[in-house]
């Protein structure tokens, strides 16, 4: 797995060099100036010998070529949908010119540490990565020609453009022999139309060179028809109801930019036609900008219907369209679609006090991108996240005590409503002392096609949630499992209480999270509606490299894929467990999580009968593995994991935990935590618990939670009424 991770990173880095570092790339084209006009074009990954017009795939992998031949080399499809591979992507200088071999590609295998012929289906995204880099170099050569008039750069760029676009012209849409879902996603040279990323480079080359008299005949006879063919496939395939639609639209718009008016073509499909696809027309798999934004943005909150990471992608694509409309069509798209500006402002609500977005679903936390706000004409200094915010359309909420990176606390709750969401029940993230102390696990290292994503990272046990009977689950990606907000406020304490039903077990689940400026309280109730509860597992994951529990622990194999439980349980290891004795009932179990920067999370868990407590290790927190300046090597360190398994229902005796993040600059304020006995005085209330936090300064904070807004209970000799009671002594 570690080797596969390195190869994936290498592919992504190759893309970043080609696309995200234009200055470095522009300088690099100079090294090829004297290599010959066809040096780079000869290293494009094409069907140089077979000139095959049709590629057949088997689901997400290359399978074989058709027998029909074109009169020129055709475009080669990537080896697989996933970029993950055991082979190293070669440098351009290592490639043989015009190579195509029935044995596959001659590549270095990072497992065997030898060169070998790699079957195409095992090469991941290497083919498309090479072509993308060469097309990017061609774009930079065309720019250099435009700036200097040096015809050497012109010829390099033209050969790349003509070779590739002639190949596109003769290439048919790949065919899936399984007749499955991939047939609706595949592009001409990648398995997903959203990754036809050569298009912006090739269209720019053509726009810069098409006025050359000697090239005009090739443009009208081959290149422009090839671009139209490419755009038609992108419109025909893909996904209309999420970020894909905008990525597809951007490629179609790029192609429209380099075409002539509709009247110049016999089929009437030119510049206006493809612009109209982007703006107005609606087909099965390609919606217009307005249709998509009306569907995807909540008109009240202006929040997009996907996880935070993909929301940033959508906003970035819309900002690019704002620029394109302004420069290409002399139109103000923000004035025509005000939701874009509102969405950019609401985007700040995703932020934790470290000024990076929260991490639930398929998200990697990062800062907001200044270039997006520059395109939209918004001063980022005017963005001010609120203390409390909820987005029902994507079923998440956040509360912050402030935006001081070190001193402020924050928590987020999310269920699963919208795209790129996980099966996570009522998931919780906690922020304190500059870190996502209780983080979301992330996507995994093999992307969406990998077993680690399918079996662990997208499932309940990877999240801070409660799994019922070891089987709580539902479809990921486009999920329809929202929670309902019972109440949320900033007084008498900052809190939020939500409810959802676990669809797999038809279990009622209710979570209350409270937050002071110093600590969190988490109360999670869970029970099956049919009363057939076996057990409820409370999962909690914390950053750090050391975890202690004030219990005697022994090795355990109880957390396992056995008895029909989720595969995700198999990903937990070094599991140890203990049970609280009856005379310890309602006394806290103290757990500490230590981070190498000397910050710490201390957890006080209410001990209950019929409960087993586990300390375990889980896969690393991949969601944070891309962040710089983390206090330890997140990528190669397992995640500290606490599990509390309560046998029977967990409603009348819910999971109750207090969490206090501390650091040298933010010392502990808690002396101890107690869980006083609660006597229920009415007949409608079935669940009531109390938490007493004793501070080091002698003050006491009492919180009482019930499942009935009209509850009447007695704690320490005093009577209280309501669903949530907060008293300070």
- Chain segment 262-298, per-residue pLDDT in tens: 999 999 999 999 999 999 998 999 999 999 999 999 9
Q: Which residue, among 338, 334, 346, 341, has the nearest Cα to 303 in the 3D structure? A: 346
Q: Which residue, among 263, 269, 374, 356, has the nearest Cα to 315 in the 3D structure? A: 374
Mean per-residue pLDDT for 612-616? 97
Give the predicted TM-score (pTM) of the model: 0.90
How far apart (Å, rounded) are the C-alpha atoms in residues 269 and 353? 50
Given a cut of 80, whether residue 652 has pLDDT beyond it is yes
Torsions phi, psi for 544 (to 5 deg): 130, 170
- Chain segment 129-150, per-residue pLDDT in tens: 999 999 999 999 999 999 999 9
How far apart (Å, rounded) are the C-alpha atoms in residues 564 and 579? 24
Q: Which residue, among 274, 283, 372, has the nearest Cα to 321 in the 3D structure? A: 372
Given a cut of 70, whether residue 424 has pLDDT beyond it is yes
Confidence of residue 13 (pLDDT cuts 50, 70, 90): very low
Whole-Å CA distances, 727 to 282, 516, 629 = 57, 13, 40
Chain Cα centroid distance, residue 611: 34
**Residues paired with residue 47 on neighbouring β-strands, in sequence order:** 74
**Counting beta carbons within 10 angstroms of the beta carbon of residue 299, is it exposed (0 to 12), middle (13 to 18) or buried (19 or more)?**
exposed
State what percent of residues in the chain have pLDDT above 70: 95
- Three-state helix/strand/coil letters over 428-465: EEEEECCEEEECCCCCCCCHHHCHHHHHHHCCHHHCCC
Confidence of residue 324 (pLDDT cuts 50, 70, 90): very high
Q: Which residue, among 639, 594, 632, has the nearest Cα to 444 in the 3D structure? A: 639
Q: Please, are residues 143 and 201 in contact by the beta-carbon 8 Å criterion?
A: no
pLDDT score of 586:
59
Inter-axis angle of helices 339-346 and 308-324, to 10 degrees?
Answer: 140
Average pLDDT, the chain: 94
How far apart (Å, rounded) are the C-alpha atoms in residues 12 and 17? 9
Q: Please, are residues 724 and 497 in contact by the beta-carbon 8 Å criterion?
A: yes
Q: Out of 19-33, 554-568, 631-645, 682-696, pick the least confident.
A: 19-33
Q: Hey, what are 548's tokens?
A: 């202690």
- Chain segment 375-420, per-residue pLDDT in tens: 999 999 999 999 999 999 999 999 999 999 999 999 999 999 999 9
Q: Which residue, among 237, 234, 207, has the nearest Cα to 223 in the 3D structure? A: 207
Q: Please, are residues 691 and 666 in contact by the beta-carbon 8 Å criterion?
A: no
Q: Report helix, strand or coil for 625.
A: coil
């Amino acid at each position: 797995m570690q080797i596969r991770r390195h190869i994936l990173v290498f592919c992504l880095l190759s893309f970043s060099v080609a696309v995200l570092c234009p200055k470095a790339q522009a300088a690099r084209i100079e090294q090829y100036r004297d290599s010959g006009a066809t040096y780079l074009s000869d290293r494009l990954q094409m069907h140089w010998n077979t000139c095959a017009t049709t590629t057949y795939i088997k689901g997400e992998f290359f399978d074989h070529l058709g027998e029909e031949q074109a009169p020129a080399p055709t475009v080669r499809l990537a080896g697989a949908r996933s970029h993950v591979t055991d082979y190293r992507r070669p440098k351009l200088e290592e490639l043989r010119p015009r190579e195509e071999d029935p044995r596959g590609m001659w590549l270095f295998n990072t497992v065997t540490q030898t060169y070998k012929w790699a079957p195409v289906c095992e090469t991941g995204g290497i083919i498309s990565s090479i072509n993308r880099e060469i097309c990017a170099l061609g774009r930079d050569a065309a720019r250099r020609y435009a700036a200097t008039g040096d015809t050497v750069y012109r010829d390099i760029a033209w050969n790349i453009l003509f070779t590739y676009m002639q190949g596109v012209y003769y290439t048919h849409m790949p065919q899936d022999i399984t007749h499955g879902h991939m047939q609706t996603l595949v592009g001409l040279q990648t398995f997903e139309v959203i990754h036809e990323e050569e298009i912006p480079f090739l269209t720019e080359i053509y726009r810069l060179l098409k006025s050359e008299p000697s090239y005009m005949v090739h443009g009208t006879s081959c290149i422009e028809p090839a671009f139209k063919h490419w755009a038609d496939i992108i419109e025909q395939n893909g996904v209309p109801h999420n970020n894909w639609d905008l990525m597809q639209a951007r490629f179609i718009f790029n192609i429209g930019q380099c075409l002539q008016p509709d009247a110049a073509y016999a089929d009437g499909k030119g510049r206006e036609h493809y612009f109209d696809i982007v703006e107005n027309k609606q087909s099965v798999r390609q919606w217009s900008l307005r249709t998509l934004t009306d569907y995807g943005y909540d008109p009240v909150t202006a929040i997009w219907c996907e996880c935070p990471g993909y929301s940033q992608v959508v906003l970035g694509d819309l900002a690019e369209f704002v620029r394109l409309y302004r420069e290409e069509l002399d139109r103000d798209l923000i004035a025509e679609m005000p939701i874009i500006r509102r969405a950019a402002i609401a985007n700040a609500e995703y932020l934790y006090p470290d000024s990076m977005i929260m991490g639930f679903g398929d998200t990697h936390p990062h800062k907001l991108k200044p270039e997006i706000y520059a395109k939209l004409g918004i001063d980022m200094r005017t963005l001010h996240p609120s203390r409390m915010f909820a987005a029902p359309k994507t079923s998440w909420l956040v509360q912050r005590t402030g935006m001081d990176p070190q001193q402020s606390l924050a928590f987020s709750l999310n269920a699963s409503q919208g795209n790129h969401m996980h099966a996570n029940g009522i998931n919780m993230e906690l922020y304190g002392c500059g870190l996502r102390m209780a983080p979301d696990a992330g996507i995994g290292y093999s992307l969406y096609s990998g077993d680690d994503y399918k079996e662990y990272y997208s499932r309940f046990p990877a999240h801070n949630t409660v799994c019922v009977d070891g089987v709580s689950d539902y479809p990921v990606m486009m999920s329809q499992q929202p929670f309902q907000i019972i109440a949320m406020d900033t007084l008498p304490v900052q809190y939020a209480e939500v409810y959802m039903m676990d669809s797999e077990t038809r279990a009622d689940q209710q979570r209350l999270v409270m937050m002071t400026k110093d600590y969190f309280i988490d109360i999670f109730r869970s029970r099956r509606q049919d009363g057939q509860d076996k057990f409820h597992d409370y999962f909690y994951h914390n950053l750090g490299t050391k975890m202690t529990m004030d219990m005697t622990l022994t090795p355990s194999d109880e957390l396992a894929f056995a008895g029909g439980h989720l595969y995700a349980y198999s990903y937990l290891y070094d599991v140890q467990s203990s049970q609280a004795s009856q005379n310890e009932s309602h006394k806290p179990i103290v757990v500490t999580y230590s981070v190498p920067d000397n910050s710490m999370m201390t957890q006080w868990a209410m001990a209950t009968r019929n409960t087993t407590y586990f300390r375990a290790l889980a896969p690393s927190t991949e969601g944070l593995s891309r962040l710089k300046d983390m206090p330890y090597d997140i990528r190669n360190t397992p995640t500290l994991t606490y599990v509390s398994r309560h046998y029977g229902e967990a409603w009348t005796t819910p999971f109750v935990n207090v969490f206090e993040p501390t650091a040298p600059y933010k010392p502990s304020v808690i002396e101890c935590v107690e869980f006083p006995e609660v006597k229920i005085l009415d007949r409608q209330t079935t669940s009531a618990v109390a938490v007493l936090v004793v501070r080091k300064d002698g003050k006491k904070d009492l919180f009482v939670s019930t499942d009935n807004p009209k509850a009447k209970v007695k704690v320490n000799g005093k009577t209280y009424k309501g669903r949530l009671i907060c008293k300070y002594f």
